[in-house]
Amino acid sequence: MSDESSLMSETLCGFLHSALPTLAKGRQWVLLYSTQKHGMSLLTLYRRSAMLPGPCLLVGGDRQGAVFGGLMNAPLQPSPKKKYQGTSESFVFTNVTGHPYIFRPTGLNRYFVLCTTEALAFGGGGHFALHIDAELLNGSSGACETYGNCCLAQTEEFILKDVELWGFVHTSRYTPSYALFKEPEEVPSFRSC
């Protein structure tokens, strides 16, 4: 890992690593965004997700100690309309029961990840598996058809402690990891018609 996580234990990291798609396995984890380092802004999280191609792992934690999140198969691109993104490689996870658990898509729908300027959400059908507001302060979680999950946090409505976004990069002994990615260009803002 390029940085230390404020949310994930070594055990949780190992568990999540084993669940990653082949494209991300064996690669170095790079911290693309952290509320502790980059402030509390969903638009900054979106902008920084574009630093690396490929999958991104969102990790959040509530103030009661639950750690949860989800895997997206590509950098996040906010849409001015309610349009879901992602593939069946996505998943959501939690450690709310005391042990890490992953919920993979059930195949009932394709509501994998929803990115708007107002919120980021995983899943759909019933409730969102995970919904985080634009200020990265509040969230909600409930059972959803997409992932067949239970509530990922300690309570259905929660206050976020921290949010992190991790990318995965292939390194070699010849290329330092910091040279493999660069700051993205400014993300264009969306206007409603």
Walk along the chain (193 residues) in steps of 10 and give the mean pLDDT of each run: 85 93 88 94 94 93 95 89 91 94 96 95 95 96 97 96 93 46 42 32
Structural domain boundaries of the chain?
10-171
The identity of residue 37, as a single letter, is K
Measure the CA–CA gap between 87 and 138, rounded to whole angstroms: 26
pLDDT of residue 118: 93
Measure the CA–CA gap between 182 and 93, rounded to whole angstroms: 29
Instruction: Match 């634009």 to its residue by tokens.
Output: 134
- Comparing CA positions, the residue from 21, 35, 33 lying closest to residue 167 is 33
Long-range contacts of 69-73 (CB under 8 A, 24+ apart): 69/93, 69/130, 70/113, 70/122, 70/129, 70/130, 71/19, 71/20, 71/21, 72/112, 72/113, 73/21
pLDDT of residue 187: 39
Measure the CA–CA gap between 71 and 99, rounded to whole angstroms: 18
Q: For residue 12, give Cα distances in angstroms to 3, 7, 8, 108.
A: 15, 9, 6, 28
Instruction: Match 């984890």 to its residue by tokens.
Output: 29
